[in-house]
Amino acid sequence: MKEGIIIKKKNKSLNEFLNIKNIDENFLYTQDNKVIAFIKIYPINTELFSEEELENKMDSMSVEFSNEQYPYSIFVIPRKVDISDYIKEQERLKKNIQDEISIKIVEKRIIATHELVADKNIIENEFYLYIWEDDSENVKEKILKRANNWRKRFKDCGFETEILEKTQIILLAKSFTIPEFARKESVDYDDSIVRIRRRSVRNKQNI
């Protein structure tokens, strides 16, 4: 009679798989006792800059990033362009105009926008910076202070930002499990998210 060993696999919950213990207010709490805050960075159109303006923008941001004394990480998520707000605006415009020619122009504009996005599969990038601390007393105040400091520095460089709240963090976490960008079999999702991680400037060998 042969003896065998039966190994029972423990099924992990989605929260365990993603290392998420809880999400509350502006913070994500991890299973390994970290508290994380996320900052969304709204992009700017650099095509409108002169060469000198672009160099100045890059120099100013380089200074801000190099002066940071605490760990942070940046990732970029590509998504399909959301035209819903634009279409709603055009629909409202169509209701408020009277002459037939203007109505036809708006209708053609709506159709052309749908066709452009459908045919080209246009992608836009979303930029996020996140910071973290070990879970401890007053950790929320400490992280919010750091987050607001980051926001001020981005504002000084001409970038609009916002600190994500609970619902936004949940949606961001879901994008890693059901990514909108990974709808085609030919897309490698692991290669679609760009991550830039900086541990600390205190030890330059760790950068």
pLDDT tens-digit series, residues 141-184: 999 999 999 999 999 888 999 999 999 998 888 777 665 443 33
What is the per-residue pLDDT for 16? 63
Q: Do 172 and 41 meet the contact criterion of CB atoms below 8 Å apart?
A: no
The answer, yes or no, to whether residue 6 has pLDDT greater than 70, is no
Between residues 195 and 140, the one the model is more confident about: 140
pTM equals: 0.65
Residues 6+ away with beta carbon under 8 Å from 199: 71, 206, 207
Asked if pLDDT for residue 128 goes beyond 50, the answer is yes
Tens digits of residue pLDDT in 16-56: 667 888 999 999 999 999 999 999 999 887 777 888 888 88
How far apart, in whole angstroms, are the C-alpha atoms of residue 135 and residue 29? 8
CB atoms within 10 A of CB 27: 24
Q: Over pLDDT 70: what percentage of the chain?
A: 73
Say how many Å lie between the first and final Cα of the chain, rounded.
58
Residue 111 and residue 117 in contact, taking contact as beta carbons nearer than 8 Å: no
Q: Give residue for tokens 């990480």.
A: 73
